[in-house]
Amino acid sequence: MQMVKLVHASKQTLRFDFLVTGIFVHRRISIPKLAGSYREQEPLPSSIYVPYSQLQLRKLLELQVISFLHGCTNINQIKQVHALLFRKDLHQCCYVVTKLIRMLTKLEVQMDSYPRLVFRQVKHPNPFLWTALIRGYALQGPFSESVRLYNCMRKEGIGPVSFTFSALFKACGSVLDVTLGTQIHAQTIWIGGFASDLYVGNTMIDMYIKCGLLDYGRKVFDEMTERDVISWTELIVAYARTGDMKSAGDLFDGLPMKDMVAWTAMVTGYAQNAMPRKALEVFEQMQDAGIEVDEVTLVGVISACAQLGASKYANWIRNIAENSKFRPANNVVVGSALIDMYSKCGNVEDAYKVFERMEERNVFSYSSMIVGFAMHGRAHAAIELFFEMLKTDTKPNHVTFIGVLTACSHAGMVDKGRQLFATMEKCYGVSPNVDHYACMVDLLGRAGLFEEALQLVETMPMEPNGGVWGALLGASNIHGNPDVAEIAASHLFEFEPDSIGNYILLSNTYASAGRWSDVSRVRKLMREKKLKKNPGCSWVEAKKGVIHEFFAGDMTHPESSQIKKALEDLIERLKAVGYQPNLSSVPYDVTDDQKRRVLMTHSEKLALAYGLLSTDAGSTIKIMKNIRICEDCHIVMCAASKVTGRKIVVRDNMRFHHFLNGTCSCGNFW
């Protein structure tokens, strides 16, 4: 006679209905209390105390064992539970063994070893047990084994369940085998309507997306009879990753149950597609909608603020992070993102403050800080931090080395760079990839060691890419070496035929050598390819963090006449202390007088003049620029920092220059 009915079981609690004089009474019992003997639970009034049926005793035992399994943190503990199964005669129970195999998978135990053995001991595996094994192979490979097991299972006459298909699609997604994926897709249709199962549909979408067939994924989505927020989010993310924020946004607008993950997907989607303002907009809408924000959301917004490069936003999001549950000091990911953001906003000091306060640091935190120092020309700080990192348990990775090598490169530390590059594999276990070679070419090229740079390109163990040739072209431009520039450009145009900057670099290199016919040849090439020069543009942060934008020769600003006057005054003061316009900074074949006039229209000079006009004396002037700062403007910035006593920070497309008291942090080497 069954007088106790188990109505619900979760990890922590069991819920029973007790039959008490004709009515059912609910009771909840927590599993920890049941550990040991289930007869020794809290005593119940004798009037309602009833013996469990055999069936329920067994069910309880199963649940108890499973709760043990959930508590296991290593394989030995699981082996103990496994031994227990034999003692309690549960070793043939598919339900428990399935959980055991899942736990082994979670602990990343090799499927071929122990899990396979456990599976073989069960005489009549049910579909769930088969699936646990198939899923294990789907997660860690070899993926062909998943498929082989699936076929075995079918041959044994055992039908798949929805989990089985999920596991198989995962395997197909991992090896990008869309042919097999499509076959299995077909099977979900003809074997008992699995195609309409929500989970099967979602994993199918994921598989098609991983294989690069977004349209197929969309088709599955459109044909699904039931969808949840995960189906939508999968597609939104896929559109965002291909850069199609329009489709992502349309989907998101139509999503009836927007949750935190879906909102976050939109925020990071905009951030990763270089639309930081849209990202902030969505983040604000998200907060207005009363949606909770977590660390992933924060990281997306932080990345957007890094792109905006303005202290105003940087401090704003930092405050939000500090007041959240994910404080940068306690959260490595948020902390590392903030380090990167502050570095990109021109604020290495704040970046380092965040770094210092972090309780835990990983390779991201160190690398971000090292790259930050490198960007700001603080080569010694970068290298010092690198050696400090080596003293910890944190191992450097390829990005860390990109950081130290660029640090050496921007500071002209050729020997140090060569030495680090030579030992990176032997001493630190990071084998140089093509990007590290590009750094070395940059390092040697900037130092004017063209022969060595070319030799490195010829002997490198992999094919040089656009980055390598680009570094060589950039160095040729700095040193005015049109012969090497020609070599670099001829290769570079194969990789990046439409990148305008490369043509301009080549043309400028010819110009600096006075080879005007070559200049017009390149100009003609650019016209034929219909490439437009992207105009030089600068931003400056005025009072209250308001950003003002200036193009070269731009007179549309409402205060243009004052700006022009301020610039003229400044230049007069600089001339008084010996400033001479650097005419070779103008790559056009025009008269010196015209060159002087062109130089005065450069956008960073306008930005500087406006900065002087609009900010308080004593505050730092922060200028951002979309292309490389020119020689003449660099000289002006140096001199202006001395004459005006202001600190000036300029971010060009590559790095930061800190001008103070007449000198630049780059040491005139950039």
Subset of 443-482 contacting DNA (CB under 7 A): 466-467, 469-471, 473-475
Are the C-beta atoms of 622 and 346 separated by less than 8 Å?
Answer: yes
Stretch that binds DNA, among 288-296, 421-429, 521-529, 657-665 (CB under 7 A): 288-296
The answer to whether 372 touches 351, Cβ cutoff 8 Å, is: yes
Give the shortest CB-114-to-DNA separation in angstroms: 19
Interhelix angle for 260-272 vs 276-288, to 10°? 160
Considering only 347, 367, 394, 538, the residue that binds DNA (CB under 7 A) is 367
Count of residues of this chain found to bind DNA when the rule CB under 7 A is applied: 75
Smallest gap, in angstroms, from Cβ of residue 199 to DNA? 4
CB 343 within 8 A of CB 371: yes
Query: Minimal distance in Å, beta carbon 243 to DNA?
Result: 13
Alpha carbons 180 and 172: distance in angstroms, whole number:
7
Binding track, positions 483-522, relative to DNA; x by CB under 7 A: ---------x--xx--x--x--------------------
- Is 526:503 a contact under the CB 8 Å cutoff? yes
User: Is there binding between residue 136 and DNA (CB under 7 A)?
Assistant: no
21 vs 440: CA distance, rounded Å: 85
Nearest residue (CB) to DNA, 4 versus 456: 456
Among 337, 506, 522, 630, binds DNA (CB under 7 A): 337
Q: Which of 64, 264, 507, 603 binds DNA (CB under 7 A)?
A: 264
Q: Is 384 helix (H, G, I), strand (E, B) or coil?
A: helix
Of 350, 342, 425, 413, the C-alpha closest to 377 is 413
Q: Is 406 in the site for DNA (CB under 7 A)?
A: yes
CB of 669 to DNA, least distance (A): 12
- Told to check if 213 binds DNA by CB under 7 A, we report no
Asked if residues 97 and 122 have their Cβ atoms less than 8 Å apart, the reply is yes
Residue 299 vs 637, nearer CB to DNA: 299
* Contacts with DNA, 423-442, as mask; x by CB under 7 A: ------------x--xx--x
Give yes or no for residue 203 binding DNA (CB under 7 A). yes
Pick one of 64, 188, 347, 409: the residue that binds DNA (CB under 7 A): 409
Q: What percent of the residues of the chain are helix, what percent strand, and what percent coil, each to the nearest 5?
A: 65, 5, 30
d(CA 564, CA 85): 86
Interface residue with DNA, options 96, 175, 262, 574 (CB under 7 A): 262
When the beta carbons of 496 and 559 are compared against DNA, the nearer one is: 496
Selected binder of DNA within 17, 259, 281, 452 (CB under 7 A): 259
Which span sits near DNA by CB under 7 A: 48-56, 328-336, 561-569, 583-591? 328-336
Which of 56, 64, 347, 368: binder of DNA (CB under 7 A)? 368
Q: Give just the sign of the alpha carbon dihedral 453, 457, 459, 462.
A: positive
Looking at beta carbons only, is 432 or 581 nearer to DNA?
Answer: 432
Of 290, 289, 287, 291, the residue nearest 317 (C-alpha) = 287
What is the C-alpha separation between 211 and 637, in angstroms, rounded? 51
Shortest reach from residue 619's CB to DNA, in Å: 27
Q: Tell me which residues in 227-256 interact with DNA (CB under 7 A).
A: 228-230, 233-234, 237
The C-alpha torsion from 607 through 610 and 616 to 620, rounded to 10°, is 10
Q: Which of 119, 163, 239, 610 forms a contact with DNA (CB under 7 A)?
A: 163
Shortest Å distance, C-beta 517 to DNA: 25
User: What tokens does 81 get?
Assistant: 């539970």
For residue 279, state whether it binds DNA (rule: CB under 7 A): no
294 near DNA (CB under 7 A): yes
Q: Is 371 in the site for DNA (CB under 7 A)?
A: yes
Q: Which amino acid is at 582?
A: N
Among 188, 336, 507, 585, binds DNA (CB under 7 A): 336
Q: Which residues contact 119 (CB under 8 A, 6 or more apart)?
A: 97, 101, 125, 129, 133
Nearest to 402 by CA among 362, 442, 451: 442
Q: Is 62 in the site for DNA (CB under 7 A)?
A: no
Q: Reduced to 3 states, what is the DSSP secondary structure of residue 5?
A: strand
Q: Residue 397 CA to chain centroid, in angstroms?
A: 15
Closest CA to 394 of 332, 303, 329: 332
Q: State the nearest-atom distance from the C-beta of 163 to DNA, in Å.
A: 4
The answer to the question of residue 340 lying near DNA (CB under 7 A) is: yes
Binding flag, residue 347, DNA (CB under 7 A): no
Amino acid at the residue 492: L
In the complex, the smallest distance separating the C-beta of residue 265 from DNA, rounded to whole angstroms, is 4
Out of 287, 324, 362, 582, the only residue in the binding site for DNA (CB under 7 A) is: 362
Residue for token digits 């160190």?
A: 366
